[in-house]
Amino acid sequence: MREGSEIPVDVLAAHVGGQVIGDGSILIQRVAGLESARKGAITYVEDEKFFEAASQTKASCVLVPEGADVKAPCRLEVKKPKLAFALIAEILHPPKKPVPEIHSSSVIAADAKIGKDVLIGAFVCIGENSSVGDGTQIRAGAKIGDNVSVGRDCIIHPNVFLEDGVTIGDRVILHAGVVIGADGFGYVRDEHSHHKFPQIGTVVIEDDVELGANTCVDRGALGRTRIGRGTKIDNLVHVGHNCDIGERVVIAAQTGISGSVTIEDDCVIGGQVGFGDHIRVQSGAVIGSKAGILPGKIVRPGVWWGIPIQPLDEYKRLNAHIQRLPQVREEVKELRQRVKELESVLLENRKT
């Protein structure tokens, strides 16, 4: 569906499995925020504290939780309004697909295999024995090395580098400046210098992964580095060599992951988390931002925070104690003064 189309509310309701309260024939053209929405827009509300504002919105329709006390004339009740909003945005605002072409300035090896309906932008380089799947976009300045496999319907943004021998699945999105397959940070030291440990492994990026701008995924030293199906990684994240990141993992910006870390399926990692090497994060764990994890640790399911990480309840308790330290310091100073005064009185009593 092209952007600018009008879709009745009842059609959108069928798409997201919701119930229309009001006129289901109202036409929707776009999604919008609660305050900025106008006629022709659909918006959403989840938090009860915004129900009153949702009742006053000028949007043509509001996505609301089931049974919510919202008075808007046209409401679409769903279990998860934010999710329904995202699903509706996908059909009201589909991504623009450029016309497939191979730019005259691109350099493509004679034995490279290029699929159907592929876009190859200006100054793209594709190396020997590499392949690009149908419908994929390789945008300006991207570089694909030798023996690289890129799947179907991927979007490789400008200045992405895919080094030799890596594998990219279907529907993968790599934002500008991503580097896949650079050498891992591995050295062996003698008494005089550091000698590079072999970095001859590979990287496997599975289907439906999205990597943010300037994120780097190092190749395995002797094996592979893996990013599992459906995982989403933010900007400026570093994934070290031989890491194994599972499916549907979410990792926020500026996180640094040392070599040989395993993150199992469905974990959530906040921003600026620091991982030592050989850590295992078990499925379902949530690690809060700026946490630090010591090498070799096993992180069990649950919510973790702090440096070094600890269960969230324990972190909150210790943080509360730390917040009281200035008060405790003053109390200690007062107690020391009182003890000094008592010692003086006792000394005077002994003299008399």
Catalytic positions, please? 241
Strands 310-311 and 179-182: unpaired
CA-closest candidate to residue 142, choices 172, 99, 185: 172
User: CB neighbours (10 Å) of residue 120?
Assistant: 26
Q: Which residue has the tokens 């199906």?
A: 229
Contact 226, 249 (CB under 8 A): no
Alpha helix segments (H runs only) across 133-247: none
CA-closest candidate to residue 175, choices 151, 159, 163, 152: 159
* Exposure letters 163-187 (e unless 16+ CB within 10 A, then b): bbbbbbbbbbbbbbbbbbbebbebe
Adjacent-strand bridge partners of 211: 174, 233
Contact 178, 213 (CB under 8 A): yes
Rounded-to-integer distance, Cα 141 and Cα 159, Å: 5
**Residue type at 45?**
V
**Residue type at 265?**
D
Adjacent-strand bridge partners of 64: 77
CA-closest candidate to residue 175, choices 139, 228, 229: 139
Longest dimension (CA), the chain: 108
